[in-house]
Amino acid sequence: MAVAQVEDGKIVQSNSAASLAHESVKKSNSTVDKDQFLQLLVAQMKYQDPLEPTSNTEYISQYATFSELEQMQNMSASLELARASGLVGQTVLMEVTDASGRTVLVQGNVDYVVYENNKAYLSINGELYSMDDLNTVADPAYLDAYKKAGDFLNAYNKLPIPALLTIDDKEAVEKLNEIYENMSDYEKKFISDDYVSGLKKLVERMREITLAYEQGSKDKETPDTDGESDADDEA
């Protein structure tokens, strides 16, 4: 049994429910189906002017036109079903209008597809969404590049500006540079030139700090020969 979320004493409609409700409204406002058309046709025959009846040819023409339209709709539905089947296993972005009228983006992998009344519904994160709400189909390479760019920016923003770097930041700077160097040319396009320039400044400044630190360490380890000489002279 599904459990509805409640906030401030009101039932909150899930994104999935909003998508299905939106699809239901669209369907109810769409063109009439075959049964409805036949009912309208019978009503037209029943209430026509007996003095100027509509010819059989005109009725046949109307029905033929509707049949052609129905075939086109069925073909369109078949193409939609085929397209939906090809999305299984892919990452998609759904653009859903919630109960408050706000646009909500839902991202996830398509686990399977449900067919109902010639309509396709995508199962994403355990919820069903109408194909009509499909916004973007993401390429795996794009998603991987986007994630790496995010990791790079997170690491970059945690570092101080070059002038405030210390030797304690060496590991973080090296890790940031490693992330960038391991990116492909395609992935590096997701990093703006400003960040690339900033990375070079961080690396260069850390190189200077490291050299100064290593030189200072060597100076401390070198014996004070002048001091020893002075001590010998006094002796």
SS (H, E, C) the chain: CCCCEEECCEEECCHHHHHHHHHHHHHHCCCCCHHHHHHHHHHHHHCCCCCCCCCHHHHHHHHHHHHHHHHHHHHHHHHHHHHHHCCCCCEEEEEEECCCCCEEEEEEEEEEEEEECCEEEEEECCEEEEHHHEEEEECHHHHHHHHHHHHHHHHHHCCCCHHHCCHHHHHHHHHHHHHHHCCCHHHHCCCCHHHHHHHHHHHHHHHHHHHHHHHHHHHHHCCCHHHHHHHHHHC
Q: For residue 167, what pLDDT is reported?
A: 94
- Beta-carbon contacts of residue 14 (< 8 Å; ≥ 6 apart): 5, 127
In angstroms, the CA 27 to CA 116 distance is 12
DSSP bridge partners of 10: 7
- Beta-carbon contacts of residue 93 (< 8 Å; ≥ 6 apart): 105, 106, 107, 134, 135, 136, 137, 138
Q: What are phi and psi of 98, to 5 degrees?
A: -80, -175
Q: Show the tokens assigned to 32.
A: 């009439």
Residues in the chain: 235
- CA angle 140–144–149, rounded 5-degree value: 145
Q: For residue 97, what pLDDT is reported?
A: 83
Q: For residue 10, what pLDDT is reported?
A: 43
pTM of the model: 0.47
Calculate the CA 61 to chain-centre distance. Answer: 48
pLDDT under 70: residue ranges of the chain: 1-35, 37-38, 41, 44-45, 47-60, 62-78, 80, 222-235
Q: For residue 149, what pLDDT is reported?
A: 93
